[in-house]
Amino acid sequence: MERVTVALDERSYDILIDNGLLDRAAEFLAPLARDGRLLVVSDETVWAALGSRLVAGLGDIEAVPILVAPGEESKSWTGLRAVVDTLIDRGIERKDHIIAFGGGVIGDLAGFAAAVVNRGCNFVQVPTSLLAQVDSSVGGKTGINVTAGKNLVGAFHQPSLVLIDPSLLDTLNPRQVRAGYAEIVKYSLIEDAELFGWLERDGLEVLNGDPTSRIHAIAAAVTGKARIVERDERETSGRRALLNLGHTFGHALEAETGYSDRLLHGEAVALGCLLAFDFSAAKALCPIEDADRVRGQFVRAGLPTRLAEVGLERLGERLVGHMQRDKKRDGGRTAFILTRGIGQAHVDRQVELAEVADFLDRAA
Ligand SMILES: NC(=O)c1ccc[n+]([C@@H]2O[C@H](COP(=O)([O-])OP(=O)(O)OC[C@H]3O[C@@H](n4cnc5c(N)ncnc54)[C@H](O)[C@@H]3O)[C@@H](O)[C@H]2O)c1
Ligand SMILES: [Zn+2]
């Protein structure tokens, strides 16, 4: 078993990673139960696929499921209200631990419910998608989407434990696995060139479900995220902004495709990371060879690498328009994560959007 600690003073917690952890859930979760039961927030798809394994793994502890429909629509005021009302109906107390059992939608929704119900109770992340295992379950960002945009309402609320069982990915759709893989590549590009080299050799093993490779890749990714979150928990100093590599471009692509199945978040991140590398290379900040290696990595993983592949070429003005509406803006400027090469990302707040629009118009 791998253990990664997120060191945040009294909010510190462990991330445990091993195949079969769900089947031993009682070992970790029974001490957190009250009156022999745990309230588990999940979505209907995850519960149908994996609920029985959790129930069996909890042994004598009763799992009380609180289910929402699968999909981003549940990460909403309506979804939050339903979850919070049910938690209160079921007698949630402040010292209780809610279990968030699902992908990023469930982690964000259940985490935010935990942040606000009774002015804050505890929660444990048991992420079931690769994206949630390497990204959303760690770091304490929780929230919902509102009419004006995604993730605009939320709270920083750290979990008290994260249990990652890579074997849960066996029931996840392969396209979703590839999308989560893009976030692993992202961490390597930020500041872990060694991980990038490892992914070039062994990355396909992760996608093919090799148990040992999955643990290695997930542990490396969450370690990368933990170290950044420790330095800047609430995104105040700018360090945490590095995690947005590929996301300024990526969110614009997602906004343009209406956050639909046409382009999954991780697919947008793959394209976004490449655009950040190509843009950096065009500005002579980064060797073109590094951008080519990144492209090779995503091509091998079966992720999109060209705007034209997803029908988003020559849309510079529109994409920059989405960036201007992004909540991550600071003092009216958009922060870009640029790079001097693989493992050497940095924040640049001086990029002119006109230059970006022009670059996007020329990107194929
Ligand atoms: N809090 C953060 O730091 C953070 C970071 C990144 C993303 N996010 C959020 O995460 C969300 C995306 O997460 P996601 O990609 O996991 O989406 P998701 O939670 O919608 O899961 C994707 C789909 O896979 C299904 N699923 C999940 N695990 C499964 C499994 N093991 N077997 C079968 N089906 C399974 C779900 O039911 C869903 O239909 C977005 O809302 C995004 O904003 C948050
Ligand atoms: Zn992301």
Residue-wise pLDDT tens digits, 115-139: 999 999 999 999 999 999 999 999 9
Q: Which ligand is nearest to the CA of 182?
A: 2
Please pick, among 244, 254, 256, 267, the residue that the annotation labels catalytic: 244
Confidence check: pLDDT of 98 > 70: yes
**Residue 149: predicted pLDDT:** 87
Question: Which one, of 32, 183, 49, 160, lies nearest residue 104 by Cα?
Answer: 183
Which residue's CA is the nearest one to ligand 1's atom 5? 136
- Compute the distance between CA of residue 271 and CA of residue 287 in angstroms, rounded to an integer: 18
- Compute the distance between CA of residue 189 and CA of residue 118 in angstroms, rounded to an integer: 40
Average pLDDT of the residues in 158-182: 98
Confidence check: pLDDT of 107 > 80: yes
247 is catalytic: yes
Per-residue b or e along 245-266, where b marks 16 or more CB atoms closer than 10 Å to that residue's CB: bbbbbbbbbbbbbebeeebbbb
Q: Tens digit of pLDDT for each residue in 265-313?
A: 999 999 999 999 999 999 999 999 999 999 999 999 999 999 999 999 9
Average pLDDT over the chain reads 96
**Residue 328: predicted pLDDT:** 66
240 is catalytic: yes
- Compute the distance between CA of residue 269 and CA of residue 275 in angstroms, rounded to an integer: 10
Residue 339 beta carbon below 6 angstroms from any ligand 1 atom: no
235 is catalytic: yes
What does pTM read for this prediction? 0.97
**Residue 327: predicted pLDDT:** 64
Q: Tens digit of pLDDT for each residue in 5-36?
A: 999 999 999 999 999 999 999 999 999 999 99
Question: Which one, of 196, 227, 228, 202, lies nearest residue 214 by Cα?
Answer: 202
Cα–Cα distance list, 292 to 106, 193, 265 (Å): 36, 15, 22
Distance 157 CA to ligand 2 centre (A): 18
Residue 280 beta carbon below 6 angstroms from any ligand 1 atom: no
Confidence check: pLDDT of 234 > 90: yes
141 is catalytic: yes
